[in-house]
Amino acid sequence: MIRAMRPVIIAANWKMNTTPADAGELAREIARRTRVDGVTRVICPPFLCLAAVRDALAEADPDVAIGAQNVHHELAGAYTGEISAPMLDGLATWVILGHSERRRDAGETDELIGAKLARAVEAGLRPILCVGEQLADREAGRAIAVAEAQLGGCLTGLDPGRLGAAQLVIAYEPVWAIGTGRNARGSDAAAMAEAIRSTLSGLGWGETSRDVPILYGGSVTAANIGEFFAEPSIDGALVGGASLKPDEMAGIVGRAGLTAAARLAAIA
């Protein structure tokens, strides 16, 4: 049951794809083909492409938000090759944090991700915090316990009121489904969403935990997104490879629009 209408969000994670030469045109094409009422659209290109995407969307469709794929946990300093939250001013308004590929490839811990989350909120960035289990965890029945531990590690010590004001979004990404062509069932994602909101409540969020949007991420396509939107506890998707394909994005956002319209009608 939807307590209040949470936003319906489709966030595109382009990962390490596109260049400044082609990112703007791709962003324009996606924006043109995804103008659907009631859906919050976010494009997260590589750092080098942020300016190109910003300029393209300012002309093509300013309603599409721009997000970064990561941010450093310090505001400045001797951190060669890193990007701080203040550096994103004027380039992005959202940021992805704790993506499984960052955990895997850069060794990011929950504590480090929590520090990044604090810096992002201080800088006025809207965070998408990623949590999710490995295949071994799922098969051993530990999926929910893993996500609960990740949330506790990332959020403990942070002010729920401040995170709520920053409009925290959580993306559930079963690691075994990312880039593999496999995906969780809608019922699995719904159970995880309920567990995530229950964990937030236990961390001091109380009833406001019901207002936190939860996205599904893991080999999302136009063909399978309907299964996840059929679950009232799922509010959108963090889209990987399919987000580089305008046809796929058009289908995904179009389906999201149906959900947004149905939710609006339910509370009217």
Give residue for tokens 């915090």.
Answer: 129
Instruction: List, as own/partner pairs, every contact residues 138-144 make where C-beta atoms lie below 8 angstroms and the sequence separation is at least 24, other chains included.
Output: 138/174, 138/176, 143/174, 143/188, 143/192, 144/191, 144/192, 144/195
d(CA 214, CA 129): 10
Phi, psi of 234, deg, nearest 5: -100, 130
Give residue for tokens 């090759």.
Answer: 81
Catalytic one of 72, 73, 99, 101: 99
Q: Can you read off the two tokens belonging to residue 104?
A: 């895997």
Q: Using an 8 Å Cβ cutoff, are 234 and 186 in contact?
A: yes
From the list 72, 73, 29, 79, the residue with the least C-alpha distance to 47 is: 72
Phi-psi region of 124 (alpha: psi -120 to 50; beta: other; left: phi over 0): left
d(CA 223, CA 211): 27
Determine whether 173 is an active site residue: yes
Catalytic one of 101, 108, 173, 248: 173
Q: Which residues are catalytic?
A: 99, 173
